[in-house]
Every structure is written in C-alpha cells, then in structure tokens.
Chains A and B, each alone.
Chain A
Amino acid sequence: MFGWRRKLAPYLFISPFFIGYAFFFLIPVIQSLRLSFYHQVGLGAEPRFVGLDNYIRLFTNDALFIKSLTNTTYYALGSIFIIVPLALGLALILHSPNLRLREFFRLFYFTPNITAGVVVGIIFGLVFEEQYGLINNLLLAPLGIEPVRWLRDPNWVMPSIIILGIWKFTGINALYFMVGLQNIPSELKEAAVVDGATRWQVFRYVTLPMLRPVLAFVLTFAIIGSYNLFAEPVTLVGEVGGPNNAGLTMTMYLYNRGFRELRMSYAAAIGYTLAIIIVVLTVIQLFLTRAFRED
C-alpha cells in the first residue's frame, strides 16, 4: 500500500536540488565544455572550432600545465598523508570524554578558517621569510640548522604551502571526524574493552571500520579541495607560483590563462581536464576505502 508513495518519494526529495543543479550548473557546464573545443582569445573574438587541439596541446606542448599538475599532486599527497591522519589523531584526542576545555580547543582549531587572508599573508610571509623569518630564527637557528629559503627555493615552496595547509585545514577535518566518532556507539567499544582489547586494537577493529564512510567523505573532499587549491599558494608566493612556478596549482594556471591572458577556451580545457583527474582519483579512492559497500 505504501508502494507508490514510497517509490515516488526519493525523486521528490532530490528534485529541488537537481532541478536547481540542472539550471544553474548543467547549462554553464555544457556551454563551457563546448567552448573547450574551440579557440577563442580576447574579447569579442570569433571562436574557431579546433576539436581536441586544446587538450592535446595541454599534454604535449605545455610545460607550465604539466608543472601545475605535478605541483598540485604533490600538495594532494601531502593533504592525504599528512593532514588527514593529523586530523584524525586530533579528533580522537578531542573526542575523549575525559578531556576538559574541549570547547576552547575546538574554537581555537577553528580560527584558521575565519582568519582574514590578508593576515595569513602577513604572518606566514614572516613565518617563512629567509632572514627575518620566525622558523629560521626561532626554530632552526637555536638548533644550529642552516636557514631554509622557504619561499625562494623552488624545492621548499610546496612544503611551505603544505605547512600552511596543515595550519588551515587540520582543525576543520578533525571536526568532520568528530561527528563521525560520535556516531559510533560506545557499547561496541566497551564490549571490545571487556574482551581485553588494547587501545590500538579498539581503534583498528572497532573505530576505524565504523569511520569508513566519514573517512571516505574526508578523503574525497581532501582530494577535491587539493586540486582546487588557489588562495593559499597565491597568498604565499604570488599569482605565478613563485620561483620556477613551484607553487603554481592547476586552478591558478587556469585563472592566469583564462582571466589574465583571456584565453577562455584554453582555460576551459584546463578546467575539464582537472575535473576528469579529480573524478578518476576520487573513484579510485572510494574503491580503496570500499565506501560503496555499506555494512
């Protein structure tokens, strides 16, 4: 008896979203996708159909694109293997019921997300500066280590950006994990403890599996966020990505080509290449964390 209502319901629930999506998103997406198969430069110039030329050129004749690709991937790896585990650890600690001042910590770890970009630029510019910088003077010098040219040596630019990323994104990812941790029934953990499990075993066999959907979620958006990284590198090393474009991410490259040099069609091709890469990586990641299998 509930049959038809129950069958219809999901479509009704998802329709506001997808109708809006079709209108405000799909149409522009299709238009720009179409543009990526043309050649259009400048204002009011006539577009010329070129098929896959833009895409081919990206991979065969565009050193800057390849550079932005490797840079962004470098950052994504840092994000996945440093930021996410740190966030998880932080969440576990903050989740502990014996912890006092949890709210204080939570608020403090949240502040990077509400600190104005201007401030981030001033402070981190000073943190990473060669001669006057905080890291070099307060951390390395007392330990007798040579000053590091964080923002002027191409090899250190991406690590600097990753450090900035850790500052900015650990707290917020920890927040997601905390939501996930709350959804794990404590009886399961209690039962394990009763059975004589160690802390690590509780984590490995109870907590982690139950966190799988949250982990998949966090990793997915870590990947998407990493490949869309724009503001932070610009703040640290400028629009071209610093020495040898070491900090140039794909969206920065897209912006430069499209909005500064007015090569809109080429920029569209960059954008869709980026989207494909993200989708592929995300699907791989979801497969690896077996998120589609719901237990």
Chain B
Amino acid sequence: MNKSLRLLIVVASLLLLIVAPTLTSAQEAVSLELWTFVNTHARWFREQAERYREEVNPNFELEVVEIAGSDLFARLRISLQSGGVGAPDIADIEQGSFGSFLRGGGDPGLVVLNDLLEEGGYNEQLVSSRQALYTYQGNTYGIEHALTPVVLYYRADVWEGAGFDPQTFETWDDFVGAARAIVADNPGVVPLPIHGALHEILLRQQDADYFDADGNVTIDSEISIETMNWLLSLQEEGIAAQPPTGDALWAAFKDGTLISWVGADWYAGFFKDNAPELEGLWKAAPLPAFEPGGRRTSVWGGTGAMVVATSPNVEAALDFLEFAMLSVEGNVRRFELTNLFPPFIPAMDNERLHAEDAYFSGQDLGALFAEVGPEAPAQYQSPFRSQLNDLNTAAFQDIIDGIRTPEEVYTEIAATIRDEMAFES
C-alpha cells in the first residue's frame, strides 16, 4: 500500500473515532446518589432509575442509600453544615423535619423548584395544598410523595350493627349523635380516640393550622381553642377518650374498645400489619364535615423529595425527579409499591389505584381517596414547627386530664414560640 493511502486510512479512522461516540449515544454518564428513609421508596426509586435508563439515558446510574428516619436528617444537616461534604444529590425529607432546615433564616441548602414546576405546568397537576409543606417565603423546595388524605376508619360491624352507616354521616353532629347511642348500649367502647395528632388534623379540616401561610403562630387562635374544647366535651360525655400507645393500642383495637380511627391513607397499612385478625371488619368513609357541605378530609404526614444545592449534578437530578415524580406512570407505580395515594391528579383515576381491599370489607379505598383528595387542605411549614410540636406534645396530657385549659396551654405555647422567633432574628 502506498504511503499516502495509509495516511488517509489513519486520519479517517481517527476522525471516525472522534465522531463515533456522538453517533451512538449522545448521553453523558450521570451518576446520582439518593437518600431515603422509606424502604418502599427505595425500591421505587431504583425501578424509576431503570425506567429512566430505558427511556431517556442509558448511562444513568442511581445509588439509593437507605438510612433510618430521623438519622437521615441529622446526617444531611451535618453534611450541609460542613459545606456539603458527603451529601447526596437527592434526598427524601419528612415534612416534620423539613422545618428545621429553614431555621436561622439561612439557606436550607436545597434547590428551589419553582421554575421546574411552573414550566412543566405541574402546579395545576399536583394537589397544590400539599406543596405548601415544602414552601417557605415563596420558595418551593420539594415535591410531595404522598397525598395523605385523612379519612374515618370505622368498625363496620359495630356501627352497622347498631343501625348506623358512617358513609352517610354528613357532619360531626351526625357522628356524635350516633356515637352517643352506641356508647349508651356498649359502655366502655370509644367511638373517637383522641390521639396526639387529632387536634391538628381537625384544624386543617377547618382551614386552620398551627401556623399560617406567612409563618405566624396560630395555635392560640379561637378556632384552635374551640376545637380542643369540643373534643374535651366529647370526652366528658364518654364518646371520646385518649387511646393507649404502643402495643396496648393494638390490644385496644383487637378487644373492640376502639371502634373508629381518624387517620391518613397510610394508616391502613398498620391495620393490616398489626391487626390481621380484624380483617373484613373495617371500612373507611370521608370525614364528617364541620358544617354541611364543608371539607371532608384533612392531611397528616408527608414526605418530600428534594435536590441538594451543593450537588454537582443539579440539572440531572432535576430531570430525574421530574421523570419519576411528575409522571403518571411514576405515581401509579409508587402507589403499587407503597400504597400511598399520590398527590398527582392525572394519576388518580388510573385503574391500578383501584382495587377491592379485603381488609376493608372489599371497599375500593382508592376511590375514596380520589374522591376526597383534591379537597386536601394546606399544611403550612415553619422553621419552628418541630419546636411547637415538642411543646404541644409535652402539654397534651395536661389538657386531656383537665389540669390546664386549652386556652392556657395554647396561649403559653404561642408566646414561647413568638419569643423564640424574636430571639433568633
């Protein structure tokens, strides 16, 4: 072969080598790290990564690290405090802990998602009130995983056996009336357990909360005090009572003491897990409203997926997050794995979310959640939420035991929090 031909071949091969990669895959390798504390989320994220590889970028890698609950937040905070060393690209943060990331008025170290949500038109597709949990001073930092619609779980055999159908209770007055009758015939039975979160659930049902949209403390508002007083009056009548905690709670369910429970969709899982012998005896209904035509659900809990600002792969992380969390397939699949109803409206009537649940007497819980879901009220975030919750928890027993009035307690708590707010600014 002559020299110039050889040269031509070499140059051509070199050119080909340079051009070739762009001909095959135009995608660069992306490797993300994600932290979560919910192991069903972990499985879901891994599956979504798989789907992402198939549909978008075959060079995508996601390492999912599972860390237990509050430890994840501690670890994340420590990393963020050290300039982001060891921090992941994406993290699941529970709504109760998210508040403290906002503490100190400084930057929580998370990426603001307003643009992403606006541009994709997602704000209309998500039950927007849920996003309030991850929004502070106009900036939204997270995308909600779970709608957490609160419903009334009840012992169908007991209520129906007494001639009542909670599905028809329009207002709490209807509920109370029926409850009185049941308690008269079955002393010792508790129609309304006053668990630690009930008060705030009921407040939210009435469009109130412990904080308002601007971050002011509202636990000492009229409606808050009234609601608690109402619960106490029910307790006096023998209709409501404080349930036991821990193992004994399930004992109280199993021996028929507790005949209903105000809880979110995720509570169904606990029933099935811990009280399998009660299968087929329970049903779920929308919450009775406070006035006719009023809201029939509330919210309790929630976990948001967030992107860490110190991540070197923010764009890639946002892209993946959008793919997984803001798609119908992603939301539906997550429901199948976690049983948590999604806050994504286009996914809500997907048939995979609707099945007959044997535990709940064959009821289609998905239909119930889809029905009340869009009404879900907002829960406002505040850097002081966890501190307020701590104060409230410690004082709860005093209120239940009648040692101090709700007014006394809530006024004191509000004053303390306002003090702290002042001290920190």
Contacts and interface: CB of A to CB of B under 8 A. Distances in A.
Contact of B387 (A131, A242, A261): A261
Interface in A108-167: 121-122, 125-126, 129-133, 152, 154
Contacts of B352: none
A142 to B, nearest CB: 20
A262 B247 contact: no
B394 A242 contact: yes
Interface in A239-271: 239-245, 256, 259-264
Interface in B83-100: 97, 100
B247 A243 contact: no
Given A121-B246, A132-B244, A152-B397, A262 B100 contact: yes
B246 A256 contact: no
A44 B102 CA distance: 11
Contact of A259 (B77, B105, B398): B77
A239 B97 CA distance: 14
Interface in B245-289: 245-248, 251-252
A259 B393 CA distance: 18
A61 to B, nearest CB: 9
Question: SS class of chain B's interface: helix, strand, loop or mixed?
Answer: helix
B424 interface: yes
Interface centre among B387, B394, B398 (most CB of A within 10 A): B394
Contact of A241 (B74, B244, B245, B394): B394
A29 B164 CA distance: 65
Contact of B390 (A41, A131, A239): A239
A180 interface: no
A261 B103 contact: yes
A110 B246 CA distance: 26
Interface string B360-372: 0000000000000
B37 to A, nearest CB: 16
A245 to B, nearest CB: 5
A126 B246 contact: yes
Contacts of B424: 41
**Interface size range of chain B in the complex:** 20 to 34
Contact of B105 (A45, A125, A238, A264): A45
B161 interface: no
A22 B390 CA distance: 37
Contact of A244 (B74, B105, B108, B397): B397
Interface centre among A131, A242, A262 (most CB of B within 10 A): A262
A1 interface: no
A289 to B, nearest CB: 38
A43 interface: yes
A133 to B, nearest CB: 7
B252 A132 contact: yes
A238 B251 CA distance: 20
A209 interface: no
B54 to A, nearest CB: 37
B246 A125 contact: yes
Nearest to A257: B387
Contacts of B244: 129-132
B246 A43 contact: no
A40 B104 CA distance: 8
Given A239-B390, A244-B397, A44 B247 contact: no
B393 A132 contact: no
A240 B244 CA distance: 18
Given A43-B101, A43-B103, A262-B101, 14 more contacts: A41-B104, A43-B108, A44-B81, A122-B247, A125-B247, A125-B248, A126-B247, A129-B248, A132-B248, A241-B394, A244-B397, A244-B398, A245-B394, A260-B387
Interface of A: 40-45, 121-122, 125-126, 129-133, 152, 154, 238-245, 256, 259-264
14 contacts: A41-B424, A42-B105, A42-B106, A43-B108, A45-B106, A122-B246, A122-B247, A132-B244, A132-B248, A154-B397, A238-B393, A243-B397, A243-B398, A261-B103
List the 5 shortest-distance A-B pairs measured between CB atoms, nearest first.
A42-B104, A125-B246, A243-B397, A41-B104, A42-B103
Interface of B: 74, 77, 80-81, 97, 100-109, 244-248, 251-252, 383, 386-387, 390, 393-398, 401, 424
